[in-house]
Structure 1
Amino acid sequence: MTGPAAFEDLLRDLAPRVLGALARRYGQFDACEDAVQEALLAAARRWPVEGVPERPRAWLSTVATRALVDHWRADSARRQREVAVALDPAEHRPDDPDDTLVLLFLCCHPAISPPSQLALTLRAVGGLTTAETAAAFLVPEGTMAKRITRAKRQIREAGARFTLPPAPERGARLGVVLHVLYLIFNEGYTARRADLTAEAIRLARLLRRLLPGEGEVAGLLALMLLTDARRAARTDAEGALVPLDEQDRSRWDAAAIREGVGLLTATLGTGPVGPYQLQAAIAAVHDEAPTAERTDWPQILALYEVLAEVAPGPLVTLSRAVAVAMVHGPRAGLAVAGTLDVDERMAHTHRLEAVRGHLLERAGEPAAARAAYLKAARMTANEPEQRYLARRAARLHSTVE
């Protein structure tokens, strides 16, 4: 394993596991999180020079524990008993279980607000940096740092223990847990970071094993698999984005599609249908179509109509606008998209203008389509998306002139 990216991937994978083990053993989540961050910094400095240790997880755990001990010693002499336990080699077992799932539920503790739950989980479990977490929430990095610090303090003050919550409370937290995993997956998929999408899928599998009867858990895992199945075809040889209708479907992951469809088939009809199951069903219709032309758009539109009832929101409306356009024509789709012009939640995303450009192009209005594409390109910080939108606009340039 060589190169900064490889070290970063390994540390991102190990960080939540080490944090989970320390929090289970010693409690004090906030102190453990700080100690793990110190260990990660030490690894980032030393491993590229000295090489990766034979047991990297144990190395991080030992360094983090020493940092925790130093904190306790500086904090109070009353910690002598905890220090003695921490320094006992018997406590550092190489076969410690993976506590990531317990850590996930702890970060979704009801003592902290939903935005803080999401932020803390993205940082502690998803492995995002504070800057990346801030970008996901469209807030300054300093604001996010304060939010994470406050969330850790609130967990400590609530006296939360490092155990899975009882069944009734677990159900109440499940919605936030699913939303967090969805955000982690989307961050990875949008930024083309396979480490984040893989981690989100891994955590969704763990959650599925823990809660096999929850339809929305299966739905979210199916949605991730069916979406990630297209990853290899999303970009061309130069790294440029390829839209869904132009992708080489032979490059889609057939095994992931089969697994996702199988999960969905086994789940639908066994209980209430939630938004993740509906989104997975839409993804399945796309994935099962042999060509873009043979996509069952009336079925997709019907699913979006149900989704708009179950989980209304601007992004659902925008996706429904595309489905409406495919079934009833681009003018009908533009009318639906136009209802979002007054929605302030769309002011921070380029998606509305990108969809508008696509529909205007299909409607035979190249000048308006080009303007929409260029506006969308200015609104996104994602470079592949910027290049894609700029190319769409450039393709229309000669038509406009």
Structure 2
Amino acid sequence: MEPVGASVEAVFREEHGRLLAALVRRFGDLDLAEEVASEAVEAALIHWPAEGVPDRPGAWLMTTARRRAVDRLRRDRAYAARLAILQVEADRAGPAAPADPGGDGDLPDERLQLFFTCAHPALAAEDRVALTLRCLAGLATPEVARAFLVPPATMAQRIVRAKKKIRQARIPFRVPGADELPRRLPGVLGVIYSIFTEGYAASSGPDLQRLDLAEEAIRLTRILRRLLPAEREVAGLLGLMLLVHARREARTGPDGGVVLLDDQDRGRWDRAMIEEGGGLVVAALSGGPPGPYGVQAAIAALHDEAADVATTDWPQIVALYDVLLALAPSPVAALNRAVAVAMRDGPEAGLALLDGLAGEPLLRAYHPYPAARADLLRRLGRLGEAAAAYREALALAGTEPERAHLRRRLEKVLLPGTTGLSGPSGVA
């Protein structure tokens, strides 16, 4: 039973977005699609142990789910009438895409429709992330809640709110037209990147990283890359995530503690992932002006290609941050540029730039900002100011590994006779 259960889970994880998207396209209702998809999985757990896993398990689930949906509609005439109206509206929004020449019976752009529906700008930002994880990643509501450390009831309310908004606003399940796609795609990429960011550096909890979230974001972006192979910013985002995720094993010690970039064993970095990410950087930066994700991927590639922190091409990294700030200005990008300037020109130059960001509202609750100031003040020998900045960062840090790291730094600058002059700023 256990191997079959594992098979169902593996198939469902791989096929969930495709299954749900096809059902939504067919029946025009997200709630119905989710319910019959779950019923199909329950049926698989009953039938597959006795009959064996079918040769095309995804097609089996699809057929079963469609039959369950039709049976439900036959029993509920009012529900069927409402869905008929929705189907008419969907047909008016645009014709169905041609069948997949690969012959699996699914439409390759149906998942793309679901991507753009889940990330529609009419939905609140937090609702977009929740709906993407629920519908495209196939996570159960308690799993989505656990990912962002909120009660399941709160996350359920977000998902219900998003679905209600889709119904009330008549948000269509469709891919935007060519004229609309450039405006809408950044929102989709932003949702996926926010999932990855939470996985790379958890906002709170006992662990520094949430590898399951980071890997799910990468999986979703691989799907998006297959669906939109000509979109260079999709390549850029996938490359960025791979290049950063390649360092995952070296970013924490055996006890789960933070290991800074200069202390990481680069032999533990995933070289295959770095190579793949580097190729995506080339794709992202070729054929037109660069986009923000392509530029960030190029920065990550320079870090991954260097033998150590000292030999990293900091001038080139600073230049790339200049490009990034021109494309997509943000206080966080400015903070990262200041750290790179400190590595290129010395801590005093970097500190001057950081102090110039003191009034940025978005950095007031962002613990890497006082942590970066503290590290540069430590390197300048201004230990009293460094201690105050470390305390500020400690009060803001969300995860226990980050707090433990900052406590160690604070203790070091408070030790009598400590100069605190060695080491670059704290980048994990």
Provide the TM-score with structure 1 as the length reference.
Answer: 0.79
Matched, 1:394 2:405: no
Partner of 2:128: 117
Matched, 1:380 2:394: no
Once the two structures are overlaid, the 10-residue window that deviates more, 269-278 or 186-195, is: 186-195
2 CA distance for matches of 1:196 and 1:178?
A: 15
1:143-222 to structure 2, matched below 5 A, reads 145-191=156-202, 192-222=209-239
What letter corresponds to residue 27 of structure 1 in structure 2?
Answer: G
1 CA distance for matches of 2:366 and 2:146?
A: 12
Partner of 2:276: 259
Once the two structures are overlaid, the 10-residue window that deviates more, 131-140 or 249-258, is: 131-140
* More relative contact order, 1 or 2 (CA 8 Å, 6+ apart): 2
In structure 2, relative to structure 1, the CA distance for the partners of 1:62 and 1:359 (3 Å cut) is: farther
2 CA distance for matches of 1:144 and 1:339?
A: 38
Contact residue 126 and residue 196 of structure 1 kept, 8 A: no
Q: 1:299 aligns with which of 290, 311, 316?
A: 316
Partner of 1:91: none
Partner of 1:270: 287
Contact residue 27 and residue 161 of structure 1 kept, 8 A: no
Contact residue 321 and residue 333 of structure 1 kept, 8 A: yes
Write the deviation string for residues 110-148 of structure 1: whole angstroms up to 9, x where unpaired.
543555434432443345676886798899987765443
Quote how far apart the aligned CAs of 1:64 are.
Answer: 7.5
Contact residue 239 and residue 280 of structure 2 kept, 8 A: yes
Structure 2: gaps of 5 or more residues: 85-103, 203-208, 419-428
1 CA distance for matches of 2:333 and 2:248?
A: 22
Matched, 1:313 2:314: no
Q: 2:116 aligns with which of 100, 105, 124?
A: 105
Partner of 2:24: 23
In structure 2, relative to structure 1, the CA distance for the partners of 1:319 and 1:125 (3 Å cut) is: same
In structure 2, relative to structure 1, the CA distance for the partners of 1:308 and 1:82 (3 Å cut) is: closer
Quote how far apart the aligned CAs of 1:254 are.
Answer: 1.2
Quote how far apart the aligned CAs of 1:341 are.
Answer: 2.3
Quote how far apart the aligned CAs of 1:151 are.
Answer: 2.4
1:128-143 to structure 2, matched below 5 A, reads none
1 CA distance for matches of 2:246 and 2:185?
A: 25
Quote how far apart the aligned CAs of 1:296 are.
Answer: 0.9
Matched, 1:335 2:352: yes
In structure 2, relative to structure 1, the CA distance for the partners of 1:312 and 1:82 (3 Å cut) is: closer
The residue matched to 1:304 in structure 2 has which SS? helix
Quote how far apart the aligned CAs of 1:335 are.
Answer: 1.8
2 CA distance for matches of 1:64 and 1:347?
A: 49
In structure 2, relative to structure 1, the CA distance for the partners of 1:338 and 1:23 (3 Å cut) is: same
In structure 2, relative to structure 1, the CA distance for the partners of 1:82 and 1:361 (3 Å cut) is: same
Once the two structures are overlaid, the 10-residue window that deviates more, 175-184 or 329-338, is: 329-338
Partner of 2:366: 349
2 CA distance for matches of 1:385 and 1:12?
A: 32
1 CA distance for matches of 2:8 and 2:348?
A: 50
Structural RMSD (CA):
4.0
The residue matched to 2:187 in structure 1 has which SS? helix
Contact residue 246 and residue 292 of structure 1 kept, 8 A: no
In structure 2, relative to structure 1, the CA distance for the partners of 1:302 and 1:185 (3 Å cut) is: same
Contact residue 315 and residue 344 of structure 2 kept, 8 A: yes
The structure with the greater share of residues assigned to helix is 1
Structure 1: gaps of 5 or more residues: 84-94
2 CA distance for matches of 1:242 and 1:7?
A: 37
Quote how far apart the aligned CAs of 1:203 are.
Answer: 2.1
Provide the TM-score with structure 2 as the length reference.
Answer: 0.74
Partner of 1:88: none
1 CA distance for matches of 2:10 and 2:342?
A: 41
In structure 2, relative to structure 1, the CA distance for the partners of 1:271 and 1:134 (3 Å cut) is: farther
In structure 2, relative to structure 1, the CA distance for the partners of 1:376 and 1:304 (3 Å cut) is: same
2 CA distance for matches of 1:377 and 1:70?
A: 57
Quote how far apart the aligned CAs of 1:202 are.
Answer: 2.1
Residues paired across the two proteins, number? 384
Identity over the aligned pairs, expressed in percent? 50
Write the deviation string for residues 294-328 of structure 1: whole angstroms up to 9, x where unpaired.
00111111111121111111111110110111122
2 CA distance for matches of 1:69 and 1:389?
A: 58
Quote how far apart the aligned CAs of 1:209 are.
Answer: 2.4
Write the deviation string for residues 2-46 of structure 1: whole angstroms up to 9, x where unpaired.
9xx999998766654543343233221244346668999x89xx9
In structure 2, relative to structure 1, the CA distance for the partners of 1:215 and 1:77 (3 Å cut) is: closer
The residue matched to 1:320 in structure 2 has which SS? helix
